[in-house]
Chain A
């Protein structure tokens, strides 16, 4: 793998209207190659209708050591869940 090669994260949208889901990564030296590699690796079995590729270095991730401060405070805030409403019939993907 040359020094010009980067890792790119791949996101696939399975159907129009659905969110793009992270599926893995590819190596590539430019965006066109990244897109084609993603197509060749991750959509061989009809998985997608749209692909996003993003250079991994542009993804900012939270650190696991921040986990408590980031996520624990929402544990006891039940009122934030929309469980007090009736779900409208026919509403999908909620």
Chain B
């Protein structure tokens, strides 16, 4: 019984903390003044918010059903992979669209050279290889392309 009480307290704490973090992350979108600052809210505040909620879920189902629930780890993993990538993409788009910064932003954005924007001065692989056909052609002695 005591264990259940303890687990309940921990789950409740994690849920409340998760809710608060998720909320402040979203509040950041409202508070901050320019696009790049607003980006900081969702990339961080929500990560821990969702993390706390997932740990609470894991704990709750493990204790109540008596078997390990680790599925939530997958959600965490996917989130940790996708959140920074979307953040990076959004920030990069913002840079390329020359969005304005709030006054007082220190440092400056360097002018982009063609290579940085991806206007192809960089060698790319000539042609995407078909997953299996290219190998068969090679085996027949015919090189692809």
Same complex origin of A and B: no
